[in-house]
Structure 1
Amino acid sequence: MTGRRRTSSPRPSKSFSVRTACTVVVATGASLIAGCGVLPGDPGGSREPVTVMTFAPEETKATNMPGMPAMAEAYARWAEATGGIDGHELRVITCNEQNTPRGAATCARQAVDKGADAVVGSYSQYGDAFMAPLEAAGIPFIGGFGISDEEFTSYLSYPVNGGQAALLAGNGEQLADVCDKVALVRPDSLAGDDLPDLLNAGLARGKAGESADILAADDATGYSDEALRARERAAEPTWTKTAADGVLPGCVTAALGDRTETFFDSYRRLPEDGRQLRISSVMGSVGQPLIDRTGGRNGLYEGAYITGWYPDADDARWDRMRDVIRTHAFGDNSLDPADAGVQTTWIAYTVLDKIIHAIGSDAITPGKISHTLDQGLKVSTDGLTPDLRWGYEDMLGAARYPRIVNSSVTFQVVRDGRLVTQRQGSVDVGRTLLDAS
């Protein structure tokens, strides 16, 4: 990885003061960006700084999300250049979560130790490890990636999307009318155990049969056996649907995070057997960067069905984010505007901006942030999501995902090497999530 360099340990950094100079402090496993004394547009520099943390795994053997802390840092630079957020200097601490429970807990404890007002736009599958320290300190968790159950159950979590649950339910709905049989390749982990039920609930909306469940390690270097089993199971006909030109093809869908690329590389290497199968995945496992580096329109992903949370990456509603990346990321190659983690972090910081403006006082505290959200603050994300609000009446209330407030997904497809919209607008999978619960 170039552009930024971090160590792999998330040990707490030393204390520091940044009252008089522009400073970038890089410590063991954490970095902080701060502004300069009185910011342009700051009313006399009288408003207190706001400190937040963004954590994500980097340089691990499983899923890595370096673009999320990189987006947080770019956002801090942008806020500094534009006078802060409502006159408040924005301080961003980042931490390498390491894809381990210990790393997740260490990052959360560091947020507590550094006096963070919120954790914003972060990624971890170990919600039980990071939410407990945050809850004990009363620190809200805003706009996580949506990979852990606790993000949708904790009273201090404020999700901006429906998480992996909405993606899998949506993927089922997307495939229900185009596939005869679906094989799902998913992690052999606690986080992966919910995925078959979610996909099947979506398939059932189109009256399709249940998927074949193919378990796979989320840190393997090859998936030849799993690829062969998935192809064989997807090719087993159910004869439930016919198309004008004959029986619908089988489909192989995979949700393995970073290892999805490794899986489909193994799938590509299988000897031809004449079977007509389609492939599919969800955003966060397959995105435009992967499609580009694997051949674009001439690659394996041409024609693939992809379920996402947000508009496709070429949509004009991402223009401001792209401008911030172009101007304030300093060529950081981990920061791709088509990456779902980057997009989620941008939306999470958009929410933070609206909260700070809504509080409208000199001191921003964790309690004020959570109280403002609990009282039903309505947040516009400029059309990237439906308007977001976290009042009790706004939550889905599904048994396993009670705090989902945005159950919308988008259906995309790879055409001429680009992820483009398959169906205009978003699809609400709230009913499907309730069925899966």
Structure 2
Amino acid sequence: MTWAPDQTRATNMPGMPAMAQTFARWVNAQGGIDGHELRVLTCNEQNSAAGAAACARRAVRENAVAVVGSYSQNGRAFMAPLEAAGIPYIGGYGLTEDEFTSPLSYPVNGGQASLLAGHGMQLAEACRRVSLVRPDTLAGDKLPSLLNSGLRKASHRSAVDIPAVEDAAEYSRQAARARERAGAEDGCVTAVLGERTQTFFDSFRRLPGNGGSGSGDGRNGANGGRENGDPVRISSVLGSVGQPVIDRTGGAHSPFEGAYVTGWYPEATHKSWEPMRKVIREHAFADNRVDPADAGVQTTWIAYTVLKTVIESLDSDRISSVQITHALDRGARIDTGGLTPPLRWKYEDLLAAPGFPRIVNQAVTFQVVRDGRLVAQKPGFVDVGTAVLTAP
């Protein structure tokens, strides 16, 4: 099963179930996974605890062998039913602590913990002061300490914490406070509001003195996202800002031109994504939900790559959730073709960070928006494990 919220007032991730179905069409067209037909169930998690629990109960009821590549902020609601039924959770989006504490969770990225810690490291090199605008939710409450752990690694002062309603229609008050507290001298405003990040920066660019929508001046890529000469830089993390958002808001003339962005994976144009792009071209059937530049779609591809590799390693006529869990626990090693470092979930591979002991992928990428495209700010992966370990 793959679940994600759709048609809600907060963050929606319809591309994740759509990518799961695309993956199934691809492998089944080639005879399945080691001869097994892959049947994918999808569920609308609805961005609610009740919705997440309902999806988990359905996975149990329909005997799903795994929940793969899913998105939810409601870890407590879905992990308990899965644990009771022995169903592994492979490659969730990484929003909740439960995904990094449950013995049945097998994350493929470092979640929000690695993104925020990494983003702090990225911003520390360019920003004198940082304002963080984040959701006023339980999950959002964890973000300031994670960002600060990355800032502190570079002996930087802590960020100003600005909570905001996750599904607000505008953020002018928070935008004004964020800009004021960041300061005019090399200040940075970072927003991590999921789908509402675009709404926040729309409010930000409308502040007096910002001069409307930022068009970029060719120097923004080096300067870190300055809107029409405004001395305050803007930034975010993948999932809150990505190529689809940049395209929708004007490409090279987007207010995100020059913004710093921390991601889990290589930029969307990297050659490592070509196998996924080929599958999408041939099996998504013009489904515009499946955007190869979307972080949710990318995470789902990697998660199903894990499932495929594990099932092939079993060489069994019958596949069960217990077999998959045992294979992962015994140290099945997953090569994702350069999209992540090699993945393995044996005890010695776990980061064992407070609150995030199940992290095995400690890598992030530093990116920047140049000419309307997310490109690498520096090549390769950056290890943020020590920053995550020092987060309170």
TM-score range normalised by the length of the shorter chain? over 0.9
Q: Do 1:227 and 1:266's aligned partners in 2 also have CA atoms closer than 8 Å?
A: yes
- Name the SS for the 2:6 alignment partner: coil
Residue 339 of structure 1 deviates from its aligned partner by 0.3
Residue 275 of structure 1 deviates from its aligned partner by 4.6
- Please name the residue that 1:402 is paired with: 357
| 2:164 counterpart letter in structure 1 | A
Instruction: For 1:207 and 1:292, locate their aligned partners in 2 and report how far apart those are by CA, in whole Å.
Output: 35
- Please name the residue that 1:55 is paired with: 3
- Please name the residue that 2:278 is paired with: 323
- Please name the residue that 2:220 is paired with: none
1:267 equivalenced with 2:215 (yes/no): no
- Please name the residue that 2:138 is paired with: 190
More displaced, 270-279 or 209-218? 270-279
Residue 208 of structure 1 deviates from its aligned partner by 1.1
Residue 232 of structure 1 deviates from its aligned partner by 0.4
Instruction: For 1:235 and 1:70, locate their aligned partners in 2 and report how far apart those are by CA, in whole Å.
Output: 43
Instruction: For 1:268 and 1:432, locate their aligned partners in 2 and report how far apart those are by CA, in whole Å.
Output: 32
Q: Deviations over 1:282-323 (max 9, x none)?
A: 000000011111111112111100000000000011001011
Instruction: For 2:194 and 2:315, locate their aligned partners in 1 and report how far apart those are by CA, in whole Å.
Output: 39
Q: How does 1:411-426 map to 2 (within 5 A)?
A: 411-426=366-381
- Please name the residue that 1:253 is paired with: 190
- Please name the residue that 1:297 is paired with: 252
1:113 equivalenced with 2:51 (yes/no): no
Instruction: For 1:210 and 1:168, locate their aligned partners in 2 and report how far apart those are by CA, in whole Å.
Output: 13
Instruction: For 1:184 and 1:385, locate their aligned partners in 2 and report how far apart those are by CA, in whole Å.
Output: 27
Instruction: For 1:384 and 1:268, locate their aligned partners in 2 and report how far apart those are by CA, in whole Å.
Output: 34
| 2:55 counterpart letter in structure 1 | C
Residue 428 of structure 1 deviates from its aligned partner by 0.6
User: Which structure has the greater CA radius of gyration?
Assistant: 1
TM-score computed with the length of structure 1 as normaliser = 0.85
| 1:335 counterpart letter in structure 2 | V
Q: Do 1:254 and 1:281's aligned partners in 2 also have CA atoms closer than 8 Å?
A: yes
Q: Deviations over 1:119-139 (max 9, x none)?
A: 000000000000000000000
- Please name the residue that 1:98 is paired with: 46
Q: 1:220 aligns with which of 156, 168, 193?
A: 168
Instruction: For 1:309 and 1:264, locate their aligned partners in 2 and report how far apart those are by CA, in whole Å.
Output: 22
Q: How does 1:5-404 map to 2 (within 5 A)?
A: 53-235=1-183, 249-272=186-209, 275-404=230-359
Instruction: For 1:131 and 1:175, locate their aligned partners in 2 and report how far apart those are by CA, in whole Å.
Output: 34
| 1:429 counterpart letter in structure 2 | V
Instruction: For 2:340 and 2:170, locate their aligned partners in 1 and report how far apart those are by CA, in whole Å.
Output: 36
How many pairs are equivalent? 374
Residue 79 of structure 1 deviates from its aligned partner by 0.9
Residue 206 of structure 1 deviates from its aligned partner by 1.4
Q: Do 1:378 and 1:388's aligned partners in 2 also have CA atoms closer than 8 Å?
A: yes
| 1:250 counterpart letter in structure 2 | G
- Name the SS for the 2:390 alignment partner: helix
Instruction: For 1:64 and 1:75, locate their aligned partners in 2 and report how far apart those are by CA, in whole Å.
Output: 20
- Name the SS for the 1:232 alignment partner: helix
- Please name the residue that 2:215 is paired with: none
Q: Do 1:235 and 1:275's aligned partners in 2 also have CA atoms closer than 8 Å?
A: no
Instruction: For 1:132 and 1:293, locate their aligned partners in 2 and report how far apart those are by CA, in whole Å.
Output: 38
Instruction: For 2:243 and 2:59, locate their aligned partners in 1 and report how far apart those are by CA, in whole Å.
Output: 32
Instruction: For 2:276 and 2:267, locate their aligned partners in 1 and report how far apart those are by CA, in whole Å.
Output: 13
More displaced, 401-410 or 270-279? 270-279
Instruction: For 1:181 and 1:100, locate their aligned partners in 2 and report how far apart those are by CA, in whole Å.
Output: 35
- Unmatched runs of 5 consecutive residues or more in structure 2: 211-228
Instruction: For 2:121 and 2:93, locate their aligned partners in 1 and report how far apart those are by CA, in whole Å.
Output: 21
Q: Which structure 1 residue ranges, 4+ long, deviate > 3 Å from structure 2?
A: none
- Name the SS for the 1:91 alignment partner: coil
Q: Deviations over 1:151-189 (max 9, x none)?
A: 000000000000011000000000001000000000001
| 1:296 counterpart letter in structure 2 | G
Q: Do 1:169 and 1:202's aligned partners in 2 also have CA atoms closer than 8 Å?
A: yes
The change in CA–CA distance for 1:275 and 1:329 in structure 2 (over 3 A counts) is closer
